[in-house]
């Protein structure tokens, strides 16, 4: 029976007896080990980084949404138009009910407002008696053209791209950063 310490001594001697590569051969070996680590590291890092990051960078595709016929709109009377929006959320496809505000302006053209107050992102309402858009959160007030006429709002209501085709109103739904004095799309 050999004691562990004795065994260790034997091994130590044995290590000395067998030569380990030196000089250029040792350099080459070290280089190969480093190269293997680099190839495998890069071979994994690049796809894995892309895997993790790519869905985060994917922009939501926006397309024209049919929000209903234009004939029901009366001049100067804002109308809340509801529609069902289908959104892809990763592997899920969800349908949510959304609404936009459409106003037929005196010139006859239709302006569509995002339903979100540009101040801090609450949902505002049309006050039929006062004939103003009012936000219940912080008291911002807008006129029928979206201009700020009261409260803390830093900019007018955000208009959404819209068009009329075959008597139907189409919009592209967008979201904007709140609190800024000009519209910046999210």
Partner 1 sequence: MASRLYDWLDSRLKLKPLERTLLDEPIPGGASWIYVFGSATLFLFVLQAITGMFLVVYYVPSPDQAYDTVQYIQHEVRFGWFVRGLHHWGASAVMVAIGLHLLQVYLYGAYKRPRELMWMVGVILLLLMLTFGFTGYLLPWDQNAYWATQVGTNMVATVPLIGDFLVRVLRGGDSLGALTLSRFFALHVLFLPTLILSGILLHLFILRRVGPAGPWSEEQARRGSEPFYPRQVYMDAVVILGVFLAVVALALTVEFPLADRADPSDHTFTPVPEWYFLFFYQFLKYMSGPLEPLATWVLPMLFILGLLLLPFLDRNPVRHPAARPVALVSGVVFLVFVFSLLGISLQNLYGIPRVDPSVARGKALFAQHHCAACHRIHGEGGNVGPDLSYVGDLRPDRQWHIQHFRDPQSVSPGSIMPKFALSDKEMNDLASYVLSLRSGGKGAT
Q: What residue ranges bind partner 1 (CB under 8 A)?
A: 11-12, 14-15, 17-18, 20-21, 26, 29-30, 32-33, 36-37, 39-40, 43-44, 47-48, 50-52, 54-55, 90-92
Dihedral Cα 54, 56, 58, 60, nearest 10 deg:
160
CB of 6 to partner 1, least distance (A): 13
Closest listed residue to residue 118, CA positions, set 67, 173, 172, 185: 185
CB of 96 to partner 1, least distance (A): 18
CB of 169 to partner 1, least distance (A): 32
Using the structure block, give the residue that is written with the tokens 């310490």. 5
Q: 135 Cβ partners below 8 Å, 6+ apart?
A: 117, 119, 122, 123, 124, 125, 141, 151, 153
Using the structure block, give the residue that is written with the tokens 């739904």. 173
Q: Which is nearer to partner 1, 38 or 105 (CB)?
A: 38
CA dihedral sign, ordered 31, 33, 39, 45: negative
Q: Which is nearer to partner 1, 48 or 164 (CB)?
A: 48
Q: Which is nearer to partner 1, 51 or 128 (CB)?
A: 51
CB of 185 to partner 1, least distance (A): 24
Phi and psi, residue 158, nearest 5°:
-80, 125
Q: Which is nearer to partner 1, 44 or 184 (CB)?
A: 44
Asked if 168 and 64 count as a contact pair (C-beta separation under 8 A), the reply is: no
If one counts every other C-beta atom within 10 angstroms of the C-beta of residue 58, the result is 10
CB of 11 to partner 1, least distance (A): 5
């Amino acid at each position: 029976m050999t004691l562990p310490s004795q065994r260790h001594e034997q091994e130590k001697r044995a290590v000395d007896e067998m030569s380990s590569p030196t000089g250029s051969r040792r350099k080459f070996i070290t280089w190969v080990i480093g190269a293997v680590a680099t190839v495998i590291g890069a071979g994994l890092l690049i796809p894995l980084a892309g895997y993790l990051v790519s869905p985060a960078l994917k922009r939501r595709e926006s397309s024209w949404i049919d929000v209903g016929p234009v004939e029901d709109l009366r001049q100067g009377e804002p109308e809340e138009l509801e529609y069902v929006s289908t959104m892809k959320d990763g592997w899920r496809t969800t349908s949510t009910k959304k609404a936009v505000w459409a106003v037929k302006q005196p010139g006859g053209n239709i302006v569509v407002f995002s339903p979100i107050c540009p101040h801090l992102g609450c949902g505002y309402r049309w006050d039929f008696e006062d004939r103003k858009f009012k936000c219940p959160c912080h008291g911002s007030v807008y006129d029928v053209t979206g201009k700020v006429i009261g409260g803390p709002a830093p900019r007018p209501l955000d208009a959404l791209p819209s068009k009329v085709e075959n008597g139907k109103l189409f919009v592209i739904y967008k979201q904007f950063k709140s609190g800024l004095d000009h519209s910046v799309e999210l």
